[in-house]
Amino acid sequence: MSNKTNKKENGVVEFFSTNKKSIVALIIGACLGALIMTFFFPERIAKLENGEEVILRVKNHSFTANDLYNAMKEENGNEALFKMVDIALLKDKYPNREEDAKKFAEEQKEAVFTSYQQYYGYTKEEFLQANNFASEEEFEADLISQFYYQQYYDEYTRENITKKEISKFYKESVFGEKSIYLFSALDENKAELSEVQNMLKDKKSFDDIKSKYETVNSYKYDSVKYTDSDMFTQTILNKIASTKKGSSSGIFTDDSYGNVIVYIVSEKEKAKEADIQEEMKDAIVKSKQTNDDKLYYQAFIHLREENDLSILDTELKEFYEKSIKQFK
């Protein structure tokens, strides 16, 4: 059996783990449109007009429309319903972004198809099947939805940055462009990294260090900016910011690189805080979205609340309130 087949069967390759498709999630949209709200004091539970109508039989078992609705509400209803709500609100908020969304989806779609072909040998059809998309159009629609979600997420994050956060970021994370050496090693090779530290103190050259310690990863970067969060973690960028020219950071631990030493070869003058306000906000947005696990959920809870969300079905309301409590 080929490696590609094994990956498919084991479910290793997934595209958007938070947006997996399911038949139930697709059906619920149609079912919700057919609801007639009937209310029973003191609770309000949504029912289908012909809820007792049998929709499926197997052996001596019968299943009604109400059975389906209740199952969907328990299993997927909350997620599917609020995705419908969010998209409706987002399209209202960004009425002139439809063409941008389509362009984004088309570009991302082709990039993903190309990547999966190169790295996994997947055709378009194989990618769609492996990631539970019924068609290319469905995948594109999902990307369009992601475009709208990201627009609001970025806007919400940016609008909630405080002056105090900006000043703190400037003090701790902003630096003039620097040229650096970066050395990293696994825990079992940490002793060699300590020897690298000593060689740096003795002003040994990068090439001498690299050739002597094969168990230590050695990197040379001629131009590093505080905005390079796509290349380095914020931990490393903060160390670069706090380390002066001709000095090393000492050994510290980073989630991506392991045990690390940063050495500053040269540096340019740091920009004035007032001159880089928008640039800093861009960097803070990236940092907060990367490091704050609750922020994404808080953004869309806020979107619904500012649009006067009112859940009339008491069971859905209770479930929703429980699900968002952890993010407040």
pLDDT-derived band at 28, boundaries 50, 70, 90: very low
Task: Identify the domain containing residue 245 by its residue range.
Answer: 167-273
pLDDT-derived band at 291, boundaries 50, 70, 90: confident
Structural domain includes residue 286: no
How confident is the model at residue 44, as a pLDDT? 55
Highest mean pLDDT among 92-101, 284-293, 310-319: 92-101
pTM: 0.74
Cα–Cα distance between 82 and 290 in angstroms, integer? Answer: 24
Find out whether 140 and 106 touch, Cβ atoms under 8 Å: yes
Q: Which of 20-24, 77-81, 103-107 has the lowest mean pLDDT?
A: 20-24
**Three-state DSSP string of 187-208:** HHHHHHHHHHHHHHHCCCCHHH
Domain count, the chain: 2
Domain shared by 99 and 229, yes or no: no
Cα–Cα distance between 237 and 242 in angstroms, integer? Answer: 9
Structural domain includes residue 300: yes
Domain shared by 183 and 145, yes or no: no
CATH of the domain at 187: 3.10.50.40
Angle of the 234-242 helix axis to the 277-291 helix axis, nearest 10 = 130
Cα–Cα distance between 67 and 52 in angstroms, integer? Answer: 8
Structural domain includes residue 278: no
Domain shared by 67 and 183, yes or no: no
Structural domain includes residue 287: no
Which residue has better confidence, 256 or 75?
256
Element (H, E) at 158: helix 136-159
Question: Average model confidence (pLDDT) for the chain?
Answer: 85
Query: Tokens standing for 318?
Result: 């209770």
Say yes or no to pLDDT of 115 above 60.
Answer: yes
pLDDT-derived band at 70, boundaries 50, 70, 90: confident
How confident is the model at residue 71, as a pLDDT? 74
Peptide bond into 95 cis (omega under 30): no
Domain shared by 8 and 155, yes or no: yes
The 10s digit of each residue's pLDDT in 260-279 is 999 999 999 999 999 999 99
Domain shared by 145 and 24, yes or no: yes
Structural domain includes residue 279: no
The 10s digit of each residue's pLDDT in 205-252 is 999 999 999 999 999 999 999 999 989 999 999 999 999 999 999 999
Strand partners, 219: 182
Cα–Cα distance between 62 and 66 in angstroms, integer? Answer: 12
Structural domain includes residue 259: yes
Domain shared by 143 and 50, yes or no: yes
pLDDT-derived band at 34, boundaries 50, 70, 90: very low
Domain shared by 30 and 95, yes or no: yes
Say yes or no to pLDDT of 5 above 50.
Answer: no
